[in-house]
Homo-oligomer: A and B are copies of this chain.
Amino acid sequence: MPQEKTKSLKIDDVSRQSGLTKRTIRFYEDLGLIPKPERSAGGTRRYRQEHVDVLRKISQMKVALGFTLEEMQRFMHLNDALYDYREDYKNLSDRKKKQDRLKEIVGVIDEQLQLVESKLEKIHKVKLELVAMRKRATIGMQKLKKSEGKI
Contacts and interface: CB of A to CB of B under 8 A. Distances in A.
Question: Looking at A85, A119, A124, A127, which has the most chain B CB atoms within 10 Å of its CB?
Answer: A119
A69 interface: no
Nearest to A151: B95
A49 B65 CA distance: 30
B106 A137 contact: yes
Contacts of A137: 82, 102, 105-106, 109
Interface string A41-71: 0000000000000000000110111100000
Q: How many copies does the complex hold?
A: 2
B126 A116 contact: yes
Nearest to A128: B116
Contact of A130 (B113, B127, B141): B113
Majority DSSP secondary structure for residues of A touching B? helix
B138 A113 contact: no
Given A109-B133, A113-B134, 10 more contacts: A82-B133, A89-B140, A99-B144, A106-B134, A106-B137, A109-B134, A112-B130, A113-B130, A120-B124, A120-B127
A27 to B, nearest CB: 19
Contacts of A120: 120, 123-124, 127
Given A65-B66, A66-B63, A144-B95, A123 B134 contact: no
Contacts of A133: 78-79, 82, 109
